[in-house]
Chain A
Amino acid sequence: MIHPKIIILSGYGLNCEEETAHAFNLAGGKAEIVHINDLVAGRKKLKNYEILAVPGGFSYGDDTGSGKAYANKLKNHLREELNEFVLKDKLVIGICNGFQILTQTGLLPGALKTNKNARYLDRWVDLKISGKSLWLKGIKKLSLPIAHGEGKYFADKNILAGLKKENGIVLKYVKGEICEYQDLEPNPNGAMEDIAGITGYNGRVLGLMPHPERAMFFHHLPNWPVRKEKLSRKGSPLPEYGPGMRIFKNAIGYFK
Chain B
Amino acid sequence: MSCRVYIESAIPDTRAEVKKNYFNSLGLSVRVKAVSLADCYVIDKELGGEQLKKAGELLANPLTERAAEKLLAPKKFDCAIEIGFLPGVTDNVGGTARETLEDGLKIKFAPAENVYSSRVFFVSFEKKPGSAELEKIKLSLFNPLIERAAIKLPVDFKKDGGMDLVIPKVKLEAKTEVTEVNLALSDRELEALGKLGIENKDGTRRGPLSLSLDYLKAIKKYFDEQGRKPTDAELETLAQTWSEHCKHTIFADPMDELERGIYKTYIKGATEAIRKKKGKNDFCVSVFTDNSGAIAFDENYLITHKVETHNTPSALDPFGGSITGIVGVNRDCLGFGLGAKPVINIFGFCLANPDDRTDLYRDKEKKQKMLSARRIMEGVVAGINAGGNQSGIPTDLGFIYFDPRFRGKPLVFAGTIGIIPRKIKGQPSHIKKSKPGDLIVTVGGRIGADGIHGATFSSEGLSANSPATAVQIGDPITQKKMSDALIKEARDLGLYSSITDCGAGGLSSAIGEMAEATGGCIVNLEKAPLKYPGLAPWQIWISESQERMVLSVPEKNWPALRSLLLNRGVEAEVIGKFTDSGKASVKFGKEIVLDLDMDFLHNGRPIKKQATKKPAQTDSSLPFVRGGNNKKNYSKEILKLLSRLNISSFEFITRQYDHEVQAGSVLKPLQGAGRINTEATVTRPVLNSKKGVVLSSALYPALSEADPYKMAANSIDGAVRAAVAAGADIDNLALLDNFCWSSSEKPERLWQLKEAARACYDTAVAYGTPFISGKDSMFNDFKGFDADGKPIKISIPPTLLISAIGVIPDAVESISLDAKVPGDYIYVIGDTGNEMGNSEYSTMLKSGLSVETAAETGTVPEINPEKNYRSYKAFFKAARKNLIASAISISRGGLAVALVKTLAGGRLGGEISLKDLPGNWSENYQALFSENGGRILATVAKNKATEFEKTISGASFFRIGRVKTGADVIIFNSNKKIIASLKIKDILKAYRQSLGSY
Contacts and interface: CB of A to CB of B under 8 A. Distances in A.
Interface of A: 10-13, 15-16, 18-19, 22-23, 35, 37-38, 41, 56-58, 60-65, 68-69, 72-73, 76, 104, 110-111, 113-123, 145, 147, 149, 152, 154-156, 159, 181-183, 190, 211, 213-214, 216-220, 222-226, 228-230, 232-233, 238
B545 to A, nearest CB: 17
Contacts of A122: 654-660
A69 B673 contact: no
B583 interface: no
Contact of A12 (B475, B481, B885): B481
In the complex, the 6 A-B pairs of residues with the closest C-beta atoms, listed nearest first: A15-B392, A63-B96, A19-B663, A225-B816, A118-B18, A147-B658
Interface of B: 7, 11, 13-15, 17-19, 39, 58-59, 61, 63-65, 92-93, 95-97, 99-100, 103-104, 385-386, 389-392, 475-477, 480-481, 484, 567-569, 654-663, 665-668, 670-673, 675, 684, 687-688, 811-812, 815-816, 818, 820-821, 882, 885-886, 906, 941
B804 to A, nearest CB: 21
B660 A11 contact: no
B14 A145 contact: no
Name which of B18, B477, B672, B818 has the most chain A CB atoms within 10 A of its CB. Answer: B477
A147 B385 CA distance: 12
A19 B96 contact: no
B660 A147 contact: yes
Nearest to A159: B63
B993 to A, nearest CB: 15
Contacts of A159: 63
A225 B392 contact: no
Contact of B673 (A62, A182, A233): A182
Contacts of A119: 656
Contact of B663 (A10, A22, A226, A232): A22
Contacts of A224: 812
B390 A13 contact: yes
Given A110-B63, A121-B655, A190 B663 contact: no
A129 B65 CA distance: 30
Given A114-B14, A154-B63, A225-B818, A232 B882 contact: yes
B815 A225 contact: yes
B673 A181 contact: yes
A238 to B, nearest CB: 7
Contacts of A57: 392
B103 A111 contact: no
A61 B477 contact: yes
Nearest to A180: B673
Contacts of B475: 61
Contacts of A214: 660-661, 663, 665
B660 to A, nearest CB: 5
B661 A147 contact: yes
A114 B11 CA distance: 12
B18 A117 contact: yes
Contact of A69 (B11, B96, B568, B906): B96
Nearest to B390: A58
A207 B667 CA distance: 29
A152 to B, nearest CB: 7
Contacts of A69: 96, 99-100
24 contacts: A15-B391, A15-B392, A15-B480, A19-B663, A37-B567, A38-B567, A41-B567, A64-B96, A65-B61, A69-B96, A69-B99, A76-B103, A76-B104, A110-B63, A111-B64, A122-B657, A147-B660, A154-B63, A213-B663, A218-B812, A224-B812, A225-B818, A225-B886, A238-B812
Nearest to B671: A225
Given A15-B480, A73-B103, A229-B820, A154 B11 contact: yes
Given A12-B481, A68-B61, A238-B812, A116 B14 contact: yes
Given A12-B481, A122-B659, A220-B663, A228 B812 contact: yes
Contacts of A120: 385, 389, 656-658
A198 to B, nearest CB: 14
B61 A104 contact: yes
B15 A118 contact: yes
Contacts of B65: 65
Given A35-B568, A41-B567, A63-B95, 12 more contacts: A10-B484, A13-B480, A15-B480, A57-B392, A76-B104, A118-B14, A122-B657, A154-B64, A214-B663, A222-B670, A229-B821, A229-B885
Contacts of A58: 389-392, 476-477, 480
Contacts of B675: 182-183
Contact of B14 (A35, A68, A121, A190): A190
Nearest to A67: B61
B632 to A, nearest CB: 32
Contacts of A123: 655
A16 B390 contact: no
Contacts of A73: 103
Contacts of B654: 122
Nearest to B657: A122
A230 B931 CA distance: 32
B64 A13 contact: no
Nearest to A57: B392
Contacts of A63: 92-93, 95-97, 477
A223 B816 CA distance: 10
B818 A37 contact: no
Nearest to A62: B390
